[in-house]
Structures are given as structure tokens and as C-alpha cells.
Amino acid sequence: MRDFETSPLLSPRLSYDALPEAGDPQIRTTAPERKIDDDVLPETSTSGRNIGWASAYVLVISRVIGSGIFAMPGTIVQNVGSPGLALVLWLVGAFVAWAGLVIDMEYGCMLPRSGGVKVYLEYTYRKPRFLTSTLVAVQAVLLGFTASNCIVFAKYTLFASGNAPGDLNTKLLAVGLLTCITIVHSCFYRTGIWIQNVLGWVKVGLIIFMILTGFIVVIFRPQTSATSPTVSATAGLDDLWSGSVWDWNTLSTAFFKIFYSYAGLSNVNNVLNEVKNPVRTLKTVGPVALMTACVMYILVNIAYLAVVPLDEIKRSRELIAALFFERVFGAGFGNKFLPLGIALSAAGNVMVVTFSLVCATSISIFLLIYTRRESTKKLLDKDSFHMREFLLPPNHLGPQWAGLSFTTCLPSW
């Protein structure tokens, strides 16, 4: 067996536990060459690593838990026919998400640098040159995957304030949210991290509040026959599986919706240059976030079933959370509290997506558009890419802002 086949991918020259800070002479004396094989080396941050374990956890959990948990459970129950089968699918979705997470963790530990899937694809498929960079750049700018959350934020904010969400005011508010987030992440780097941490913990707290509320209602509020919940102390196992639809087409459709609710577990892979002890953090943040999301999803579904009757759940589709809050708090407070909570959840999702995936793919756009400029050559001569160099004006959050704003403002047909 040849030597290169038995040598470790990660170089023993650098330690993740003691990466040098900016200004340390070690940074300039051993700068690696910009080769694709050097992707296995950790990049040393030029401005310090500002994301600890808690911030990395928020990056992942805020990306995973979006507006779907407030809308998908009712649709899933309607599709599969029974709460028991729906709960099993939510659990199976977590195991499938774990399989994908293991691959991201393997690549992330082997290539501990910002960029995520861009870096992994470039390392795996090296020719033709710039193919993966082009694909990632097009996906980031044109597809506008986070534009929908901007629209969700705008609609629920207007609804909570008592205004009718029209087409014009919805899109203006959505673009305003995206613009504010762009300015915060561009000019106030640490403040942006702090804000998205707060929004992430608010989102987790809201879901925990919903779980506790559901169980408190079941324990302390007597139920009448007109408002009997799906799950009760006298309900048997047969009731949970009654009406199950075992059609493969139906199950696959429901499963894809559930699997989408677990998307984003590799969010921290996109900003590993910013993370303290990147490999150690990567090994723990993803699994902990996955377990948190799985437990919360199961318990929230049980809370819905404990408060809202099954027939109403099936009719509600995406409005199951609205029915839940209306039954617990009444039409007045419930109609104000729920939209505000969903709006904050969507805003937190937009913040972490903009910070991580969109900013990481800025490297692709940057290399494609500005490769012949002198400023680019100087930047490539440095020993690392740092997020701030792509966030600060006049650099490269602009293309993402323009692309997402354009996608947000497209007419609804």
C-alpha cells in the first residue's frame, strides 16, 4: 500500500484546540498554498473565531426548525389518516436525516473550512474547473430558497398588527426584512450573531411553551364531548392507528414533507472558519440539534393531538397551530400571539440562512466574477477566507440580496 493511502487527511501540524489568533506570527510564517489538496487543512481565521458551541447550535436548530412545525402536522395527519402513523413517520424522518448528517460530518471533519457543499464537491469533482462553483452560485442567487420565509414573516407580521396582507405591502415588508438583515450582517458582525442567537432561543422557547401548554390543558382542563381531544387517557392503541392509509404514494409524499422539516442540519458546515474548535464542535452540534428537533416535533404533534380533535386537525391542514392557540387562549389572544411567534421564527430562519449558506456561497460568486481583479489575487494570497471579508461593503453579500429581493418580488400566480 502506498504512503499517501495510509497517511491521515488532517495534517498533524495544526491543532484545532489552539488555532492562532489574528496578529500571531505563526499565521504568516506557515501559510499554505492555495491548492485543492490543502482543503484538508483548517483555515486560520484572520479576525478571530467568534462562533462558540452555543452559537453553532443556534445556527443549526434555527435552520431546522422553521415555519413547517406550525403547518405540516395537520397536513401529514390528513394524508396518512391516523395520528399513530404520522408520529412514526416523524420518527423515521429523524433516522433518515441522521444518515445524511453523518455524510456532512465526515466531509466537514475531513475538510474543516467554510463553504460547505461547495468545498466538498470541488474536492471530489475537480474537473471541469469552476463547474461546482457555478452550480452553487446559481443555486444560491437564482433559486432564492429563503425568500419564502421572508414572505411568511411579512404576512404573519401584518396579520398580527391587524392589517390585511396584500401583495404590495407583503413584498415591501419582506424586502425590508432582507435588507435589514443584510445591513446587520454586513456592518455589525457580532451584533448579527447576537440577534440570531436570541431569535433562535425564542423559537426554541416558543415550541417548549406549546408542548407544556398542551400537556397542562390535558391535565387540568376537563374535556366535554364537543371538544374531546384526539389523545386521551382512555384512548387505546387501536384509536391511534384507526384510518391509516398504507398507500406507498401517500406515504412517500408525507415522508418528503417531514424530511424537509429536518433540512439544515449541516448549516454550521458552511461557516467552519468562524467556529471555535471546528471539528470538535461539528461532531456534537449536529447530533444534538437532530435529537432536539426530533423530540420537539414528536411532543408538539402530541400536544396538537391532545388539544385539537382529529376531525378538525384533518380539516385544518396548514392552520393546525392557529386552532391550537385559539382553543387554548381564545380567538383574541391566540390570533395575535401565534402570528407574532411564527413571524419571529421565520425571521430567525432568514438570519441564519443568510449568515451561513448564502454568505458561504458568496465565495463561489466572488471567484467566478472577480478572479482577474488585483484585490482578488491579494485575498487569495492570504492564508484564509474569513466571513467578514465577504460581508463588508463593497464585497459580496450584494448579489445574494439582489437575487433574493428579485425572487421575493416576483408576482404570485
Angle of the 72-80 helix axis to the 248-261 helix axis, nearest 10:
160
Angle at 260 between CA 259 and CA 261, to 5 degrees: 90
Query: Among positive and negative, which fits the CA dihedral 160, 163, 166, 168?
Result: negative
Residue 289 has pLDDT above 90, yes or no: yes
For 51, list phi and psi in degrees, rounded to 5: -105, 110
User: Distance between CA 265 and CA 285 in Å, rounded?
Assistant: 9
- How far does the chain reach from its first CA to its final CA, in angstroms? 61
Domain ranges of the chain: 53-218+243-377
Q: Is the preceding omega at residue 128 within 30 degrees of 0, hence cis?
A: yes
CA gap 386, 379 in Å, rounded: 10
> What CA–CA distance (Å, rounded) separates 401 from 358?
9
Give the rounded distance of the alpha carbon of 15 from its chain centre.
29
The cell 481583479 sits on which residue? 373
The mean pLDDT value for 160-185 works out to 81
Q: What angle do CA 114, 393, 277 make, to 5 degrees?
A: 25
Left if phi > 0, otherwise alpha if psi is -120 to 50, otherwise beta: which for 373? beta
Which amino acid is it at 144?
A: G
Lowest mean pLDDT among 334-343, 378-387, 399-408: 378-387
Confidence class of residue 190 from pLDDT cuts 50, 70 and 90?
confident
* Chain segment 236-286, per-residue pLDDT in tens: 456 678 778 888 888 888 888 888 888 888 888 888 888 888 889 999 999
Report the C-alpha gap between 323 and 131 in whole angstroms. 48
Using CA atoms, how far apart are residues 199 and 203, in angstroms rounded to an integer?
6
Query: Each residue of 4-40: pLDDT tens digit?
Result: 555 555 555 544 444 444 444 444 444 445 555 555 5
- The neighbouring-strand residues paired with 275 are 51
In terms of Cα–Cα distance, which of 378, 371, 373, 219 is closest to 307?
Answer: 219
Average pLDDT, the chain: 73
Q: What is the DSSP letter of 68?
A: G
Fold adopted by 53-218+243-377: Amino acid/polyamine transporter I (1.20.1740)
Q: Is the pLDDT of residue 408 over 80?
A: no
| pLDDT value at residue 92 | 92
Express each pLDDT in 75-101 by its tens digit.
888 888 888 889 999 999 999 999 999
Asked whether 200 and 194 are in contact (CB, 8 A), the reply is: no
288 pLDDT higher than 90: yes
- Cα 150 to Cα 45: distance, rounded to the nearest angstrom: 31
- Give the C-alpha separation, 202 to 205, whole Å: 5
Cis peptide bond prior to 25, omega within 30° of 0? no
Global pTM? 0.74
Q: Is the pLDDT confidence value at 291 over 90? A: yes
Residues in a beta bridge with 51: 275
Residue written as grid cell 452560485: 137
| pLDDT tens sequence across 299-349 | 999 999 888 888 888 877 667 877 888 888 877 777 777 778 888 888 888
Question: 313: closest CA among 72, 114, 95, 48?
Answer: 72
